[in-house]
A and B are shown apart, each in its own frame.
Chain A
Amino acid sequence: MSGRNYGAQGQHMGLFSRGFNIDLMLVLATFFTVVIGILTIYSTDTTGSAGYVLRQSVAACVGAIGLLFLLLLPYQVFRAYVRPLYIFMILVLIGVLVFGSNLRGTRGWFHVGPVYIQSSEVVKITFVLTLAGFLDRRIQWHTPKSLVLPFIAAMLPIVLIIIQPDFSSSLVYFPVTLVMFYVAGARALHLLSICLVGGLAAGIPLVSTYFSLLGIGIKKHPVMYFFATSLKGGWAGLWLFLGICGALIITWWFLRKMRVYVPSLYLWVTLGLITAGILGAVATNRLIKVYQRKRLVAFVNPELDPLGGGYNVRQSQIAIGSGQILGKGYRKGTQSRLGFLPSRHTDFIFSVIGEELGFIRAMVVLGFYFLIVWRGFEISLVARDRFGGLIASGFAAMFAFYALLNLGMTMGMAPVAGVPLPMVSYGGSSVVSSMFAIGILLSIHWRRYML
């Protein structure tokens, strides 16, 4: 990196010593984001009880204390304790399944005194730290085998979260995992095939939902009907699967007879992919709830289910659009205050910002958010070691995907996945863990020159 010196420049132990080494931009962006979040939550509160605002503010304070602590804590400590940390995380996720409380249909909450703590939010931090620790040690990526162990290690907590079942929260883990593998140097081809299998696994139940939403019309077409029913699993699915595999084997054998030699590896990889995909599909089919699948389909084709999944997105788009350039004014959004906007203080909080503050101010909010992600990637570049770099890029990717998914959702460009906008959306656990992540980022930045 030209213009910048990554070499050791000396030690800057004090917070405010020489050159003011704290990443001020990230601090300010975080501060404003949290404040804007609290103000917007206040705006969505039409009852005047201010309960949400209070709880969010308390969470922000807790988050700030944690941020300060993590800033002062040398992040390298975590590398020494990657394994205990990982075991702790798994225990937390299993523990929540056993001792956790049910909230909004998900057994993913610890009830501690007066507060509920969302396990998937706590795990967010440890997930990035432990995965960074695993990947830090791995430099050789020549065989798929080198990919497998850390990949399984990464999948375990994700699966545990899906079991809760909290599909929405697990969503962001996939891209974070992929990004961290990618920057750690894994072969793009391997990652691509992982994507392919994942896509197949997620895609098949979606296609079957799509067909089921199409409804009666499909029964008139026997072939389509066969596909639609077989996608739901069962015997028809098995026949379809065997049929496809058989066709592949026969084609390969036939080509061989024709003296066209295709390496058998390709055949096995293809068959493996299909098998994995189908198995994944059956698993996903069981774990993703019907309404969630419908929402994903509604994103692809909102006309299919206008009163269901499509409604939220439409109201959200109306809210944002009706804000126009200057907005309707703080606490004057009709879409949000009259209840047209769903989950207005959580997942759709940006719609309130768009409606009440207008394009210009919403752009400022987007700017702060961009700053957070951009600083995250920059910090991963200036980190003094591979471990810090991986952590920073993991957190940056996390914030990036939260932002893209959430903002895209409110504007009708991404499915309604139930993903919050970290530090803006209401949710204590989310605010605290996000600020923890910021604290670790700041720590990595602060310690960039330290030996």
Chain B
Amino acid sequence: MWVGGNTDTFSEKRFRERVRVMSVLFAIGYSVIVLRLFHLQVVRGGDLAHLSESNRTQVIFLRAPRGDFLDRKGRVFVTNQPSWSLVYSVPEKSATARAAVENTLRPFLEPFPQYWMKRLQKAFESKQMVRLVENIPDRIAFLMREMEMLLPGLRVVMEFRRGYPLGLIAPHLIGYLGEVTEREIKGIIKPGDLIGKMGIERIQDEKLRGQDGGMMIEVDSVGRLKRVIKELPFQKGGDVHLTLDLDVQKAAEEGLQATVTRRGAAVAIDINTGAILAWASAPSFDPQGSLVEDLKDKHSPFLDRVYKGAYPPGSTFKIITAIAGFEKNMIRTSERVDCIGYVKLADSRGGERKYKCWKTHGSVDYWRAMAESCDTYFYLLGQKIGSQAIHEAALKFGYGQSVQDNLPGENKGVAPNANWKKKMGLGGWSTGDTYNMSIGQGFVTATPLQVAVMMIGVATHGRIQRPFAIESVVDVNGMVRFRTQPMLWRTIDLKDTTWAAIDRSLESVVTQGTGGATRIANLNVRGKTGTAQNPHGDDHAWFAGYAGYIDEKPSVAICVFIENGGHGGSVAAPIVRKMLEVALPPRNAADVAPIMAPPFPPAVTSAPAPQPGAPR
């Protein structure tokens, strides 16, 4: 009962009622709070504890360096070097507008390609960490370090990038790295990782890739490091031991660079094992540079011409024609053919067509025909034995088939016959087609690798080891994670007399014929030149052959191909010579001493360069 002031009974009664209503309302509201507390701490406690944990901890990946590449003599030519990259991830708190970030960075990133802006856009869209610029010089990196304060989310990180201490060697074979695309993410590969995009970097990516380490650190709300909770060291990836011999490889690459067109391919293979000693394709690209520019190059620097480019093999194919002839007993080596510079053939419309030889040889037997690459002889030989026989011989040596069936994108080339032509919708087979085929023109195409493999077959009398470039992959603990076992790819059964005759005629190419440029004092070199006409421009220059020390079995097979390069004998053969000189160096001083004969036979050296019907 109110005793002082206003003491209205009715008012007092209502007052009490209403205070009671208010305290009940409060109790209801408060119990909702209590229930909510229970819900948060007891029901959802586990989840939220997890969230608070991920709030406070941050995992920093320590990218493991990839494995090195070594040549057969243990020389490291692809390794890792630290470099600065600029990465950006939109911070969870207070993101700066994209335009602001872009404007702040622009003056500093002037020297870099413009597409970092696109990547920045990607960072804002995907909310993931994105590399803006790679491989930035120290000066800019330190400037950017200061920018980190101004632009949360921006970070300069040190990463291992590929380094090439001996210069760029065999980029087509090694390949290059690139940032992983969304489709490629799987397993341990995280967004932002670099993976092999081409070559062995791609094929052996898994073994080359090390195990990334990591640091779990405690950070405060603005991401400052408080302490390291635990650390897991990274493990470097496995080293790839290649079969390449860097000396031969360099000779090949320098040789290709020195040609007129600077386009072509060179491959050298150890005959006994199939180990690839050199694998060069030109033009080349710089895996460290902006690959975008290279992509625009119309000469396709990314095309590995060794096995992805198929070209008319030209006169190197005469070996197949000759083999087919010997096997059918249709060559008598002493039988002579009169070369008047061309062969006339009636065409389907009743007219006549001249099939030219590159010069008028006069009366030639088999040996001279091979040594001097007389087309007339082989036109008539081809006509005699028929295209099917040549086709079958070609198949035996791997033409038209895959040599490296584990490599994607290999060009199989074409070993044509009548059926093939019909299937391709090119009409019926004519004698003219046979003429062209017998000198490696027309429908025949082959990769430099296939031509080299043919030479292995000839050198070994039909025992071809499958070519390989990776000897082994050895991880940091010395465990061999991968090793290539030399493997017999195919055997070719021919008569001994056939082998002997081919061998002898290829020797005469070098000693007396168009391949004189490859004559080396201490070596037995055999080979065949080729100068292939093609509808796209100047002739392709070929030289394919094999060599060994005198009185020993041949040990190295080589094929050099120069796209639109000119004469096989004068353009391709000198490169082969340089490669052989380093592949099979003189064994002792005595061998080096006198170089007697001039390397170039007069017929070839005097030949003017661009001339229709040059040596084939």
Contact = CB atoms under 8 A, between A and B. Distances in A.
Nearest to B26: A400
Contact of B22 (A8, A183, A363, A366): A183
A182 B20 CA distance: 11
Contacts of A377: 19-20, 22-23, 26
B350 interface: no
B26 to A, nearest CB: 5
A184 B1 CA distance: 15
B3 to A, nearest CB: 5
For chain A, give the interface size range.
35 or more
B42 A325 contact: yes
A298 interface: no
B6 A335 contact: no
B426 to A, nearest CB: 59
Contact of B41 (A362, A387, A413): A362
Interface in A378-416: 378, 380-381, 383-387, 389, 393, 396-397, 400, 403-404, 407-408, 411, 413
B41 A354 contact: yes
Interface in B11-31: 11-12, 14-16, 18-20, 22-23, 26-27, 29-30
A450 B22 CA distance: 26
A130 to B, nearest CB: 15
Contacts of A139: 6, 8, 11
Contacts of A374: 23, 27
Contacts of A366: 30, 33-34, 37
Interface string A216-243: 0000000000000000000000000000
A340 B52 CA distance: 9
A7 B92 CA distance: 64
B95 interface: yes
Interface string A353-386: 0110011001100100010011001101101111
Contacts of A77: none
A404 B30 contact: yes
A202 interface: no
B93 A317 contact: no
A112 interface: no
Contact of B37 (A6, A307, A335, A359): A359
Contacts of B8: 139, 386
A428 interface: no
A413 B5 contact: no
Contacts of B92: 307
Instruction: From B19, B51, B221, name the one whose CB has the most chain A CB atoms within 10 angstroms.
Output: B19
Contacts of B33: 366, 403-404, 407-408, 411, 413
Given A185-B15, A386-B15, A413-B32, A79 B5 contact: yes
Interface string A11-37: 000000000000000000000000000
A338 B58 CA distance: 13
Contact of B7 (A318, A354, A386): A386
Interface in A117-156: 136-137, 139
Given A7-B1, A387-B5, A393 B19 contact: yes
Instruction: From B15, B32, B38, B94, name the one whose CB has the most chain A CB atoms within 10 angstroms.
Output: B15
Given A325-B42, A359-B37, A397-B22, A318 B5 contact: no
A67 interface: no
Interface of A: 1, 6-8, 76, 79, 136-137, 139, 179, 182-185, 307, 311, 315, 317-325, 334-335, 338-340, 354-355, 358-359, 362-363, 366, 370, 373-374, 377-378, 380-381, 383-387, 389, 393, 396-397, 400, 403-404, 407-408, 411, 413, 451
4 closest A-B pairs by beta carbon, nearest first, are A321-B48, A322-B52, A324-B45, A339-B221
Given A182-B22, A321-B49, A338-B56, 12 more contacts: A185-B14, A319-B52, A322-B52, A324-B49, A334-B53, A334-B55, A338-B55, A338-B219, A359-B37, A380-B19, A385-B3, A413-B33
15 contacts: A1-B16, A79-B5, A183-B15, A315-B55, A321-B48, A325-B42, A338-B56, A378-B23, A383-B2, A384-B2, A384-B4, A385-B2, A385-B5, A386-B5, A451-B3
Interface of B: 1-8, 11-12, 14-16, 18-20, 22-23, 26-27, 29-30, 32-34, 36-38, 40-42, 44-49, 51-53, 55-56, 92-95, 218-222, 226
